[in-house]
């Protein structure tokens, strides 16, 4: 829980710093722990105690990774280079993967719809490989990482506009096994 | 059409003879700049049998095929003067000239004792006043089972088209494509096939896995395509007759962008591994493959020349996707610029070029161009000269050639958010037409002429 909480705070800070960047970022969920213990002493009335069970993601779970680490990096138009925001997300992924060494991941490279199908399949593979290479450079064992390209076949935003295309140009780290449920 | 010339010649000779020098015969020039469709009359075929509806349908399909070329204008049956046409009797040409018909098709439908059907037809040159011989014969007779009637119609249309234009036939063919259903974020993609006129649409795969980019073998019985079966994007062979699907090759990386070699003995493909896509050729008999490009840039979408000597492909080695040509045997090539290189760049226009497909005639490459927020289908000479854009839309992508090299099929999203549809355009840039499909459709590929 301690680790998870630290990551939560780190993620919140990073997300707020990243908000002014040109690339779209996923909307952050409210991950503030809801455990509240009212221990204010009151000399006249009996002490009332309320305990609410934590509902944040379980450490090491898929949600923990998605919410507290970040599962996607976003690319510029026709690009495949990782900028500092992307690198921060991948550093958190690498740290998380170091904490959960049994986890295996699949990195998918995705492209927007404004390219032709076969070139986008190649570009998506390049994007996925660059994410893998970066994670490996941060110490993640390459045997834990598979890559796949979906080209323009797996959009996450349905619109046909700049903002949707920017969201659809992404590298998606998916946990395939080894997470806590 | 040299209508005036023909009319003069005909008037001069009319009283004396039906025989004319062949040079004056009805001939449709498909490349004329100032173009007027040639008027043809195709009355419903004469009937010898019970199924008058089938006879009518066959003549309907012949008319529809010829009309779809944009080269012919079907005369309105209401204007026909001669009603007593017979296959074996010369038509009254004056009755057809007076309604300005250049060509007349007279057909006859028969039901045979063995349950088959037969259709016979003759093509008449109205102004020359003579029958137009097809393969040296004054007519053709085609026989098949009743359920196969559409192929008879397509073959008749092919005969007429070829006789009048001098171009190779293309109606008796099929189109394979990807049928798309479901919302944009959960698209179901199935391999589908139909006749060249959109009839007989069938799904070939159930849609459990995303399938992409089907292409015909020169035999028209096999398709190569890419599938995400088992979660791995790889290329497969699919036999249309048996429905059998077979994984092609044993590559460590992802394989995609397959296309048969012209002799059908090999498949060109792309393998992507560790962030780099390169082109390979795999012999289908030995299953051995040879690497054709070895470059850190993306190299993909290979398409072979008709003589097999060269391959056009997409590469971003120059910084953006462009078209390049290399020799199949890997030897250096003399480029249009004069230098010798492993691969010669042929596109230098503004924008990105991709999905090259070498024409069956060998002189042109069709491509997708992306520039200024628009997509175009175009053609360019193999020497990089004479680029022509034939279409323009929000998204036009993935051209393929009719087997005679006259028509290009592609897919289009006409506006943002519109699903993809199949379209065709004549090489002249005229006659852009939507092809009707039951669902959204993409990645069309044209079969060779059926056997």
What CATH code is carried by the domain that includes residue B95? 3.40.50.10070
Mean pLDDT for A78-98 is: 95
Residue B327 sits in the same domain as residue B405: yes
Distance from CA of A82 to the nearest CA of B (A): 14
Residues of B with Cβ-Cβ distance to A156 under 8 angstroms: 185
Q: In angstroms, rounded to a whole number, what is the distance separating the alpha carbons of residues A10 and B77? A: 80
| Binary contact (A118, B354; C-beta < 8 A) | yes
Residue B239 sits in the same domain as residue B221: yes
* Closest Cα in chain A to B226: A118
| Binary contact (A118, B232; C-beta < 8 A) | no
pLDDT number for residue B6: 36
pLDDT in tens, B139-197: 999 999 999 999 999 999 999 999 999 999 999 999 999 999 999 999 999 999 999 99
Place of tokens 């138009």: A77
Residue B140 sits in the same domain as residue B186: no
**For residue B32, what are the contacts with CB-CB under 8 A and spacing of at least 6?**
none
- The band of B22, judged by pLDDT with boundaries at 50, 70 and 90, is very low
Burial class (CB in 10 A: 0-12, 13-18, 19+), B138: exposed
pLDDT in tens, A110-156: 999 999 999 999 999 999 999 999 999 999 999 999 999 999 999 99
| Binary contact (A159, B301; C-beta < 8 A) | no
Residues of A with Cβ-Cβ distance to B397 under 8 angstroms: 116-117
Q: In angstroms, rounded to a whole number, what is the distance separating the alpha carbons of residues B141 and B88? A: 13
| Cα atoms in the Cβ-side hemisphere of radius 13 Å centred on B273 | 12
**For residue A160, what are the contacts with CB-CB under 8 A and spacing of at least 6?**
A113, B416, B417
Mean pLDDT for A13-26 is: 41
Is position B405 within any domain? yes
pLDDT number for residue B13: 32
- The band of A13, judged by pLDDT with boundaries at 50, 70 and 90, is very low
Count other C-beta atoms under 10 Å from residue B64's C-beta: 16
Domain ranges of chain A: 2-177
| Cα atoms in the Cβ-side hemisphere of radius 13 Å centred on B419 | 18
pLDDT number for residue A51: 64
Q: What is the side-by-side strand order in the sheet with B343-345?
A: B299-304, B310-315, B322-327, B343-345
Residue B215 sits in the same domain as residue B293: yes
Residue B255 sits in the same domain as residue B211: yes
pLDDT number for residue A8: 40
Mean pLDDT for B427-442 is: 96
Least CB-CB distance to A117: which of B254, B298, B398? B398
Answer yes or no: is pLDDT of B49 > 60.
yes
Residue B319 sits in the same domain as residue B388: yes
Residue B396 sits in the same domain as residue B426: yes
pLDDT in tens, B355-413: 999 999 999 999 999 999 999 999 999 999 999 999 999 999 999 999 999 999 999 99
pLDDT number for residue B35: 78
Query: What CATH number does the domain containing B301 carry?
Result: 2.120.10.30
Residue B233 sits in the same domain as residue B322: yes
CATH 3.20.20.100 applies to domain A2-177: no
Residue B279 sits in the same domain as residue B332: yes
Residue B395 sits in the same domain as residue B317: yes
Is position B96 within any domain? yes
Count other C-beta atoms under 10 Å from residue B147's C-beta: 8
Provide φ and ψ at A53, rounded to 5°: -65, 145
Mean pLDDT for B305-333 is: 97
Residue B85 sits in the same domain as residue B206: no
Chain A CB within 8 Å of residue B439 CB: no
Q: Which residues of A103-113 are buried (b: 16+ CB within 10 A; e: fewer)?
A: bbbbbbbbbbb
Domain boundary among B110, B138, B164: B164
pLDDT number for residue B3: 41
CB B254 within 8 A of CB B267: no
Chain B CB within 8 Å of residue A58 CB: no
Is position B228 within any domain? yes
Residues of A with Cβ-Cβ distance to B298 under 8 angstroms: 119, 122-123, 126
* Full residue range of the structural domain in which residue B310 is found: 174-446
Residue B442 sits in the same domain as residue B311: yes
What is the domain count for chain B? 2
Is position B169 within any domain? no
Q: In angstroms, rounded to a whole number, what is the distance separating the alpha carbons of residues B123 and B101? A: 12
pLDDT in tens, A45-54: 566 666 666 6
- The band of A21, judged by pLDDT with boundaries at 50, 70 and 90, is very low
ipTM of the predicted structure?
0.92
**For residue A76, what are the contacts with CB-CB under 8 A and spacing of at least 6?**
A23, A83, A169
Number of residues assigned to chain B: 451
Domain boundary among B112, B130, B164: B164
Domain boundary among B164, B182, B216: B164
Higher pLDDT, B28 or B405: B405
pLDDT number for residue B437: 97
Is position B451 within any domain? no
Q: In angstroms, rounded to a whole number, what is the distance separating the alpha carbons of residues B340 and B344? A: 8
Residue spans of beta strands (DSSP E) within chain A: 72-74, 104-110, 145-151, 170-177
Q: According to DSSP H, which parts of B363-422 are helical? A: none
How many pairs of residues across A and B have Cβ atoms under 8 Å apart?
A: 94
Answer yes or no: is pLDDT of A24 > 70.
no
Is position B159 within any domain? yes
pLDDT number for residue B28: 82
**Mean pLDDT over all residues of chain A?**
81
**For residue B133, what are the contacts with CB-CB under 8 A and spacing of at least 6?**
none
């Amino acid at each position: 829980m301690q680790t998870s909480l630290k990551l939560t705070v780190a993620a919140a800070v990073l997300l707020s710093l990243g908000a002014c960047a040109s690339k779209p970022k996923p909307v952050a969920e409210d991950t503030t722990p809801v455990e509240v213990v009212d221990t204010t002493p009151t000399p006249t009335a009996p002490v009332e105690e309320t305990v609410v069970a934590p509902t944040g993601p379980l450490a090491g779970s898929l949600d923990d990774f998605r919410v507290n680490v970040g599962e996607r990096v976003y690319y510029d138009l026709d690009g495949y280079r990782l900028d500092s925001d992307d690198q921060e997300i991948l550093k958190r992924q690498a740290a998380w993967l170091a904490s959960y060494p049994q986890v295996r991941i699949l990195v998918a490279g995705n492209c927007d719809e404004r390219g032709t199908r076969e070139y986008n399949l190649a570009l998506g593979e390049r994007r996925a490989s660059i994410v893998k290479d970066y994670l490996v450079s941060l110490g993640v064992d390459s045997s834990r990482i598979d890559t796949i390209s979906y080209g323009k076949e797996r959009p996450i935003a349905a619109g046909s506009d700049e903002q949707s295309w920017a969201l659809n140009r992404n590298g998606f780290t998916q946990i395939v096994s080894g997470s806590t449920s | 059409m040299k209508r005036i010339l023909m009319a003069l010649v005909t008037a001069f000779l009319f009283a004396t003879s039906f025989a004319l020098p062949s040079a004056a015969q009805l001939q449709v020039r498909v490349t004329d700049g100032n173009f007027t469709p040639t008027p043809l009359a195709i009355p419903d075929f004469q009937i010898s049998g019970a199924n008058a509806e089938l006879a009518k349908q066959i003549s309907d399909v012949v008319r529809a095929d010829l009309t779809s070329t944009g080269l012919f204008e079907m005369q309105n049956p209401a204007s026909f003067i001669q009603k007593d046409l017979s296959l074996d009797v010369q038509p009254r040409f004056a009755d057809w000239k007076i309604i300005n018909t250049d060509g007349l098709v007279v057909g006859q439908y028969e039901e045979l004792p063995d349950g088959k059907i037969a259709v016979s037809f003759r093509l008449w040159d109205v102004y020359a006043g003579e029958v137009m011989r097809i393969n040296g014969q004054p007519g053709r007779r085609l026989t098949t089972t009743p359920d196969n009637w559409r192929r008879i119609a397509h073959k008749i249309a092919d005969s007429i088209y070829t006789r009048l234009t001098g171009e190779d036939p293309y109606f008796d063919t099929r189109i394979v494509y990807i049928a798309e259903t479901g919302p944009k974020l959960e698209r179901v993609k199935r391999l589908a096939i139909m006749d060249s006129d959109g009839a007989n649409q069938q799904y070939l795969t159930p849609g459990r896995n995303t399938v992409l980019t089907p292409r015909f073998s020169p035999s028209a019985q096999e398709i190569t395509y890419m599938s995400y079966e088992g979660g791995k994007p790889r290329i497969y062979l699919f036999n249309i007759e048996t429905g059998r699907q077979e994984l092609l090759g044993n590559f460590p990386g992802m394989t995609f962008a397959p296309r048969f070699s012209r002799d059908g003995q090999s498949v060109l493909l792309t393998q992507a591994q560790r962030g780099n896509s390169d082109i390979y050729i795999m012999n289908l008999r030995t299953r051995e493959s040879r690497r054709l490009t070895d470059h850190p840039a993306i190299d993909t979408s290979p398409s072979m020349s008709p003589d097999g000597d060269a391959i056009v492909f997409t590469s971003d080695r120059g910084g953006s996707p462009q078209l390049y040509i290399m020799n199949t045997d890997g030897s250096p090539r003399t480029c249009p610029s004069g230098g010798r290189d492993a691969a010669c760049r042929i596109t230098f226009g503004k924008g990105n070029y991709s999905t090259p497909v070498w024409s069956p005639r060998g002189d042109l490459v069709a491509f997708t161009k992306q520039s200024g927020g628009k997509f175009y289908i175009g053609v360019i000479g193999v020497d990089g000269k004479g680029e022509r854009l034939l279409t323009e839309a929000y998204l036009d992508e993935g051209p393929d050639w009719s087997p005679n090299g006259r028509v290009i099929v592609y897919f289009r999203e006409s506006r943002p958010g519109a699903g993809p549809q199949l379209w065709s355009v004549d090489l002249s840039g005229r006659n852009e037409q939507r092809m009707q499909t039951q669902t959204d459709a993409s990645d069309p590929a044209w079969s060779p002429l059926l056997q």
